[in-house]
Amino acid sequence: MAVLADKVAIVTGSGRGIGRAIALKLASAGAAVVVNDLDEEPAAETMALIAAAGGRAVACTGDVVAPDFGDRIVDAALAGLGGLDIIVNNAGYIWNTTIQRNTDEQWQAMLDVHATAPFRILRAASEHFRHSAKREAAAGGVVQRKVVNISSVSGMYGSATQVAYSAGKMAVVGMTHTLAKEWGRHGVNVNAVAFGFIETRLTQAFEGQPAEIEVKGEHYKVGFPSAAVEDLNKRISLGRPGQVEEAAGAVYLLCLPEADYITGQVLICDGGRL
Residues 98-137: pLDDT tens digits? 999 999 999 999 999 999 999 999 999 999 999 999 999 9
Q: Is 218 helix (H, G, I), strand (E, B) or coil?
A: strand
Q: Are 220 and 213 in contact (CB under 8 A)?
A: yes
Domains of the chain: 8-269 (3.40.50.720)
Average pLDDT, integer, range 224-242: 87
**Judging by DSSP bridges, how do beta strands 205-206 and 188-195 pair with one another?**
unpaired
Cα distances (Å, whole numbers) of residue 255 to 4, 50, 194, 232: 8, 18, 15, 30
Cα distances (Å, whole numbers) of residue 20 to 110, 171, 236: 21, 24, 25
Dist CA 170 CA 251 (whole Å): 18
* pLDDT on residue 103: 97
Assess whether 165 carries a catalytic annotation.
yes
Q: Which of 157, 165, 252, 261 is catalytic?
A: 165
How many Å from the N-terminal Cα to the C-terminal Cα in the chain? 38
* pLDDT on residue 1: 65
**Judging by DSSP bridges, how do beta strands 211-215 and 218-222 pair with one another?**
antiparallel
pTM value? Answer: 0.93
pLDDT for residue 204 is more than 80 = no
**Judging by DSSP bridges, how do beta strands 86-89 and 205-206 pair with one another?**
unpaired
Q: How confident is the model at residue 138 (pLDDT cuts 50, 70, 90)?
A: very high
